[in-house]
């Protein structure tokens, strides 16, 4: 029973953070959740979407409570040794990351102020590396290597998303990656470090791929329905033009075919921060061993 005390306490803390997200998010200044050229007096101006208790808060409370419980359960040594700064790095970023999830999901915007706050929390990572060392480096490694690990994590992540966005734009002839995602992964890289960034991106694409399946199914069903309406209409050509015009008039925030990447980056980062120890253990015992076997 004693082994469950800290996990249950952390689960309660996670639930509180999930519950705190809605009042914090709903009090964010309007211009934080709008494009840079937002004009509240414009004729087509529309207020940003805000969180609701159902389903937004309920989902966040459940997810953060579960993640915090599992994080404390698989990292008992942190609490036994009182690795305060590593514990803070595991849990404190949860609130800004949750805000990023809701903001990008509801408004297709990642507030710069929240990104900066999340990035500043990486200071606990630098302190933890200095005081306890890093799992990813041998004992006695110069501290500047550990600093470089986190700095390069942000730079490499931003450069990678810029490249992916450029390639996506060339292929699709439309913006494929927002600048908000690029700035956000800079903060995620500071939090996770270069090694961690590999897993953050892996988790982000994995979770994003799973989430994209029902959206793609809905898109195929919508296209099939529109094609059927065109075929059955008295004037198919006119019906097609009307549908195309309506599609062009859809605001970016309402585009059903756009999948925001920020939420998946946020979840991937939080998963890595909470489960870094078992991830490292799997990496060192399975992945490295497999690679050595293949290339020996």
Distances (CA, A) of 155 to 56, 75, 193: 32, 29, 10
pTM: 0.89
Over residues 100-128, the pLDDT tens digits come to 999 999 998 999 999 999 999 999 999 99
Q: Measured between alpha carbons, how far is 268 from 133 in angstroms, rounded to an integer?
A: 23
Average pLDDT over residues 183-212: 92
Over residues 60-91, the pLDDT tens digits come to 999 999 999 998 888 877 766 778 899 899 99
pLDDT of residue 249: 64
pLDDT at 286 over 90: no
Give the side-chain half-sphere CA count within 13 A for 295: 6
pLDDT at 295 over 80: no
Preceding peptide of 60 cis, ω within 30°:
no
The full set of domain ranges for the chain reads 2-295
What is the chain's mean pLDDT, rounded?
87
């Amino acid at each position: 029973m004693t082994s469950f005390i800290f996990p249950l306490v952390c689960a309660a803390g996670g639930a509180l953070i999930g519950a705190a997200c809605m009042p914090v998010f709903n009090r964010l200044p309007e211009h934080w959740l709008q494009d840079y050229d937002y004009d509240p007096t414009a004729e087509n101006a529309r207020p940003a979407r805000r969180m609701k208790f159902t389903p937004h808060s309920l989902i966040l409370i459940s997810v953060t409570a579960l993640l915090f419980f599992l994080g404390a359960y698989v990292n008992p040594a942190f609490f036994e040794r009182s690795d305060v700064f590593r514990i803070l790095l595991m849990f404190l970023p949860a609130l800004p990351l949750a805000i990023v999830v809701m903001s990008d999901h509801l408004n297709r915007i990642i507030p710069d102020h929240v990104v900066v706050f999340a990035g500043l929390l990486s200071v606990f990572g630098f302190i933890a590396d200095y005081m306890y060392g890093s799992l990813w480096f041998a004992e006695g490694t110069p501290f500047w290597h550990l600093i470089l690990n986190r700095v390069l994590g942000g730079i490499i992540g931003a450069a990678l998303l810029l490249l992916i966005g450029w390639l996506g734009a060339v292929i699709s002839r439309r913006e494929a990656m927002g600048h908000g995602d690029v700035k956000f992964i800079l903060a995620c890289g500071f939090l996770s470090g270069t090694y961690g960034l590999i897993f953050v991106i892996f988790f982000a694409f994995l979770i994003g791929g799973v989430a994209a399946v029902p959206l793609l199914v809905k898109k195929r069903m919508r296209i099939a329905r529109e094609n059927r309406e065109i075929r059955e209409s008295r004037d198919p050509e006119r019906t097609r033009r009307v549908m195309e015009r309506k599609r062009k008039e859809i605001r970016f925030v309402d585009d059903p075919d756009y999948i925001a990447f920020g939420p998946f980056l946020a979840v991937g980062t939080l998963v890595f921060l909470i489960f870094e120890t078992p991830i490292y253990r799997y990496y060192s015992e399975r992945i490295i061993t497999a690679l050595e076997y293949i290339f020996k």
